[in-house]
Structure 1
Amino acid sequence: DHGFVPDPVMEIRLWREATTVFMMSGPGGCEPFGLAVAGYESGLAAEIFVSFHGALFLQSVRSEDKRRVMELAQVDFRRRAELYGIPVNYHPFGIDDIRTALAE
């Protein structure tokens, strides 16, 4: 639905449910599978665009425990995305590709 505009509470809920990344200060981060799963589970259409296979953002985390939690969360998000049949596009992309996908 191109007319859908989430209210701030919905935006925060999607972010919270999709968060994968630990941060010592500031908000945590999302990755594409988590965001797609959170949207799908909220009744939104979802499609994933990711530039490579494998875990995301783990190389920037120094704590082995935090890396393990992030890895488990990502494995779960990928499993659920597959279960829901969310399309995944693996290729490099830029902002124009995102604009095109959103316009469809």
Structure 2
Amino acid sequence: MPDLRFLGMAALAAILIAPSAGLAQEETPESLPDFAGRDETFGYCIGCHSMKVVSRQGMERSRWDETLNWMTEKHGMPAPDADMRKTLLDYLAQAFPPKAPSQGGGWVNPFAPKP
């Protein structure tokens, strides 16, 4: 009789190792909202993290500006020159504005900058 613990562990390993077509989609600028500055913003941000991280934020321009400062100071992001910073902020503020608060006190990101 086969050891059920071994079969269970083997099944779990197969699930974890098997490639998943739905999970690993390549990100492209075209997957983002189509506003001026999309390609530049994609190129600037994707070097360090997924654009899904960016698209989930939803902040006002001033918060995006603070976030760029934080990433530059704390995470070694290359500081954009004035023209690039304006391009990035224009795009981020338009493409990912603040979202309406969720009803019922939903999950709050503990790492998001405080307003």
State the TM-score, normalizing by the size of structure 2: 0.35
Normalising by structure 1, report the TM-score: 0.37
Q: Which has the larger radius of gyration?
A: 2
Q: Which has the higher strand share?
A: 1
